[in-house]
Structure 1
Amino acid sequence: MAKKQEYSNESIVSLKGADRVRKRPAVIFGSDGVEGCAHAIFEILSNSIDEAREGYGTRITLTRFKDGSIQVEDGGRGIPVDYNAKEQRYNWELVFCEMYAGGKYTAGEDNYEYSLGLNGLGLCATQYASEWMTADVWRDGFHYHIDFKKGEPVGDLKKEPATRRKTGTTIRWKPDAEVFTDVNVPAAYFLDTMKRQAVVNAGLELVLVDETGPEKTTTTFCYQKGIEDYVNEIAGLDGLTPVVYCESTAMARDREDQPEYKVKMSAAFCFSNKTQLLEYYHNSSWLEHGGSPDRAVRTAFVNQIDAFLKNKGLYKKGESKITFADVQDCLIYVSNSFSTRTSYENQTKKAITNKGVAQVMTEFLKHNLEVYFLEKPDEAQKLCQQVLIN
């Protein structure tokens, strides 16, 4: 039997540079498999979406190439990559090669009031996890280009006068099979992700170009009214009630000893006896596991529908109070919220845990349901009776 290696002071080592991601990708991306690889793709796409939401660019194009590489092109301001006197380093070194570096730490002050990610990890981590990456940036009248290979820069930053007037960033990279156990992200992921981002970013055009098949295909997603158009699409002609859309802003606080933060909320819903759907988005991330918005919708809908049933005497004698399962069976509901302070369950952003968001969204929904029931009593009666049937 081989002797075990001694556990001594020299046994403790720290990962440096690209190895911090390449040897432990699941810590950053949630998985070292195809889900982690997909999340890395979303990290690059989300940066372009943040730019568009700030008002810079109306179209984002994601391209899948035959060699397995991926490209995201936007019309934003272009990543600042030139020399940073304050940091005494080039910005390209910071954003592509330094963890926890980026332009979103001043969110709510100068830019990116509502952002998909504020950790300063996504671009750098994806670069580290790539077989190779190229970056082209157009800003300040110049075209910048930089190359990377397996997490390390190849050559210096190239800078030349721009031959085009528009600004923007184009990132192309190939996920590294030495980092992820599976880099074959299915086409369905790209289609689903691009559509979801179009849903929650009203008016933004997201274009998916796929060159991996026998023929090149182009799919464009755009919802001019965002989640309102989406709920109408889901309900079709089978809606029990028309789509209701509401929006508001509020100040929230997670704990008494913590500062207030701003929350922007919108919701679109209708009732149907053929289709049911619950979808929550926060800062454009699809909250697959919900969290705070899910708690809000469960509390608000049960509370207000129960109050209406009692007020109208629609409960039969001895009948038990409705539950959210009764409501969910006929509800099509999509919420789209943003906050300047967000607590995600983990780096993959599939749920948020902010108590303040849950509280203000609950009150927001209660108020709008109360107004809706008062203004549309016939619709309220119809949907409440359907809930009782459920």
Structure 2
Amino acid sequence: MARKQAYGNESISSLKGADRVRRRPAVIFGSDGIEGCEHSIFEILSNAIDEAREGFGKQITVTRYMDRSVEVEDHGRGCPVDYNPNEKRYNWELAFCELYAGGKYNNSEDESYEYSLGLNGLGLCATQYASEYMDADIRRDGFRYRLHFEHGENIGGLQKEEYKGKDTGSRFRWKPDLQVFTDIDVPVEYYMDMLKRQAIVNEGITFLFRSQTETGFDTTTFLYENGIADYAGEIAGNDALTPVQFWQSERMVRDRSDKPEYKVKINVAVAFSNRNRLIEYYHNSSWLEHGGSPDKAARNAFVYQIDSYLKQNNKYNKNESKINFADVEDCLILIISSFSNRTSYENQTKKAITNKGIQEAMVEMLRHQLEVYFIENPADAEKIAAQVLINKRSREDAEKTRLNLKKKLTSSLDLTNRVAKFVDCRSRDTGEREIFIVEGDSALGACKQARDPNFQAIMPIRGKILNCLKADYDKIFKSEIITDLIKVLGCGVQVKSKANRELSSFNIKLLRWAKIILCTDADVDGYQIRTLLLTMLYRLTPALIEEGKVFIAESPLYEIQAKNETYFAFTEREKEEFSEKLKGQKFSIQRSKGLGENEPDMMNLTTMNPATRRLIKVLPDEAEQTSRVFDLLLGDNLEGRKDFIAQNGSQYIDTSDLS
């Protein structure tokens, strides 16, 4: 057996050079997968945005090549790469090969960037280290500089030549390295979304996106001249409750009394709508997916100011609880874009900020602006207050309904006491229990005598159930037949509607049955009841169909008597086959009786006994097609139903009940 190596002073080692990123990309980019690769691209773009925000170049071009390489070009001042006498090194070594080196650490009045996306000095170097190759082409100070890197190592040094053109800027092309990231196939959708967001918060800057295809380049332009105000107006549309308000503030703040002051600029675009909602936060042009300080500030200010207005104007009912942020955000369009020269991100991926000073400044600003807005625009204030109260009361009603429904449908009380005429089985093993949903009391009696009481239960349906495709959820859950069925199933319901999502209570682990068997007569009424039952299951518990829990008991169409033998034909073809087989013998054929008229022995043989019955499993494979047919035949598509009947009705005229 090999001995483990001793853990001593010589055991400690550190990663050096490119290995600091290449072997631990998730530390820098948050992930070694596609999200990390995407973040490495944004790090390069952020440097170009910083230049444009300072007024150097108003157009940035991002190109996605078919080989998954990326190019970012700006028209800024050009990245400094020549010799740096202060550091006694070339700037390209610092910028491309040294983590925590950059031009954004100085917070003095003469700083290079007033507000910057990149404050950590990691972006260019980290992305270069994580690349299969990177080429830099930089124009500044009357020279053109070129650099080439492979797998984090410089090849060939700095190439410098005189440049007679008057333009300046930087162009970087690189390919993320599959030795570093598990996936580098960044989708077009990422670029489109990311560049649109940058155009929104960087007003007046044009972002060009070029995506290489087999035939050339598809180009998309993103430009918002008025930034977040235009974006809020785009979301609000023409029928919003209020017009877009744009507020700005700039002030000095500090995160703690013993910390230095720093500058923060806050831009806010806000509108209220009963159709659309959106809340997005940005800081130094970076989308804060998880918010942090701005989100806390918005929750505080909007609830405080709207609640104050409701109290001052006696809008609450007596003993009514106060609003919360969910009631406000349900009708709120809010975009906050802030900038500061000192930022505390939760991590390098910059999805949330934690600055206490920024949060306090936003709370103060938002409260003040809302107060003034309500005073100066009383009609808007009335609309906002009314809509927020509607949202609040709807939320509370929905929650009461959900709790009552959950209690009603998933109670652990004895089912036989809660559901009329339900006949349970003895077994408690859900792996073998079967429930037969049958049509009417007469069928209940026949099935009850024909079943195996050890594992087969019976649930009768009293008449035709509600068409669940045409009815809204309130009407559906007032139907005693449907709620009884859901109680018996035990697994709750799936509600996909946004307006009624609170009613969803589905848990397939609580299903009490291995098989749900629909057992109806083989006639027009039976088929219609079966279809309505399937529609109900499809609308309220589609997972039961997807999991193969739903079956149809196939009832025989004909009874054929020959001497002392009885045969059952389940289809017209089987009837013909029996007729051929019995040719020359005396036999009689009669239409099979309804379920309630059959003898228990015959019911057991044809419908209940697992050894001799026929079950049709309802499969989910054609769920979309089934949905279209259900909607056509049972939904609100009246014109489509008329057309379908006109085209296909003649096929069914002989079997239609037109009396």
TM over 0.5: yes
What is the CA distance between 1:214 and its match in structure 2? Answer: 5.1
| C-alpha distance in 1 between matches for 2:132 and 2:213 | 18
The structure with the greater share of residues assigned to strand is 1
Q: CA deviation digits over 1:214-235, x for unaligned, max 9?
A: 5420000000000000000011
CA distance in 2: counterparts of 1:2 and 1:116, whole angstroms? 52
| Other-structure match for 1:72 | 72
Q: Is residue 108–residue 340 contact of structure 1 (8 Å, CA) maintained in 2?
A: no
Q: Paired residue for 2:480?
A: none
Please state whether the residue corresponding to 1:177 is helix, strand or coil.
coil
State the alpha-carbon separation in 2 of the partners of residues 104 and 356 from structure 1.
20
Taking CA–CA contacts closer than 8 Å with sequence separation of 6 or more, which of the two structures ends up with the larger relative contact order? 1
Contact 1:64 1:212 in 2 (8 A): no
Once the two structures are superposed, residues 60-106 of structure 1 have per-residue CA deviations (whole angstroms, 9 ceiling, x without a partner) of 00001122110000000001111111111111111001111111111
Give the AA of the match of 1:197.
Q
Aligned to 1:181: 182
Corresponding residue for 1:218?
219
Aligned position for 2:201: 200
Q: Secondary structure at the match of 1:343?
A: coil
Greater shift in the superposed pair: 37-46 or 335-344 = 335-344
Match of 2:550 in 1: none
Alignment correspondent of 1:247: 248
Q: Percent identity?
A: 64
Q: Alpha-carbon deviations, 1:230-279, whole Å to 9, x = none? A: 00001112311110110011111111111111110010010111111110
Shift of 1:163: 3.8
2:43 is matched with 43
Contact 1:198 1:226 (C-alpha < 8 Å) held by counterparts: yes
Q: Which amino acid aligns with 2:176?
A: P
TM-score by length of 1: 0.98
Q: Counterpart of 1:140?
A: 141
Corresponding position of 2:333: 332
Distance 1:383 1:159, change over 3 A: same
| Preserved contact between residue 78 and residue 138 of structure 1 (Cα < 8 Å) | yes
Count of aligned pairs between the two proteins = 390
Letter in 2 for 1:122: G
The question of 1:96 aligning with 2:105 is answered: no
| Alpha-carbon contact 1:264-1:338 (below 8 Å) kept | yes
- 1:322 paired residue number: 323
TM-aligned CA distance change 1:213 to 1:298, over 3 Å:
farther
Checking the alignment, whether the CA contact within 8 Å between 2:68 and 2:186 is kept in structure 1 is: no
Residues 87/3 of structure 1: CA separation in 2 closer, same or farther (3 Å cut):
same
Secondary structure (helix, strand or coil) at the match of 1:315 reads coil
1:179 alignment partner AA: V
* Bigger Cα displacement from structure 2, 247-256 vs 56-65: 247-256
Mapping of residues 295-306 of structure 1, within 5 Å: 295-306=296-307
Distance 1:282 1:297 in 2: 14
Deviation at 1:315, TM superposition (A): 0.9
Could you tell me which residue of structure 2 aligns to residue 357 of structure 1? 358
Match of 1:85 in 2: 85
- Counterpart AA for 2:180: V
**Amino acid of the structure 1 residue aligned with 2:366:** L
Amino acid in the other structure paired with 1:96:
F
Q: TM-score by structure 2 length?
A: 0.58
Question: Is the contact made by 1:108 and 1:114 (CA closer than 8 Å) also made in structure 2?
Answer: no
Q: Which residue of 1 aligns with 2:55?
A: 55
For the aligned residue pairs, the C-alpha RMSD in angstroms reads: 1.0
Q: What CA distance in whole angstroms lies between the structure 2 residues aligned with 1:238 and 1:281? A: 26
Q: Structure 1: which amino acid aligns with 2:212?
A: E
Match of 1:128 in 2: 129
Cα distance in structure 2, aligned partners of 1:214 and 1:159: 35
Displacement of 1:159 in angstroms is 0.7
Q: Name the amino acid aligned to 1:64.
A: R
Match of 2:169?
168
Amino acid of the structure 2 residue aligned with 1:362: V
Counterpart-to-counterpart distance in 2, 1:149 and 1:138? 22
Q: Does 1:105 align with 2:105?
A: yes
> Equivalents in 1 of 2:199, 2:107: separation in Å?
23
Question: What's the CA shift string for 1:132-191, capped at 9, x where partnerless?
Answer: 000010000111101000000000211111142100000000000000011111111100
Distance 2:349 2:213 in 1: 27
Distance 1:285 1:233 in 2: 20
In structure 2, the CA distance between the partners of 1:108 and 1:272, relative to structure 1 (3 Å rule), is farther
Instruction: Supply the distance in 1 between the matched residues of 2:331 and 2:290 (Cα, whole angstroms).
Output: 20
Other-structure match for 1:9: 9
C-alpha contact (below 8 Å) 2:38/2:186 kept by paired residues? yes
1:145·1:157 contact (CA, 8 Å) conserved in 2?
yes
Aligned counterparts of 1:136 and 1:359: Cα–Cα separation in 2: 43
Deviation at 1:334, TM superposition (A): 0.3
Aligned partner of residue 76 in structure 1, secondary structure: coil
Whole-Å separation in 2 of the counterparts to 1:329 and 1:215 = 44
The structure in which a higher percent of residues are helix is: 2
> What's the CA shift string for 1:104-126, capped at 9, x where partnerless?
11145322111001111100000
Q: Does 1:310 align with 2:311?
A: yes
CA distance in 1, matches of 2:278, 2:64: 30
Q: Aligned partners of 2:90, 2:33: CA distance in 1, in Å?
A: 33
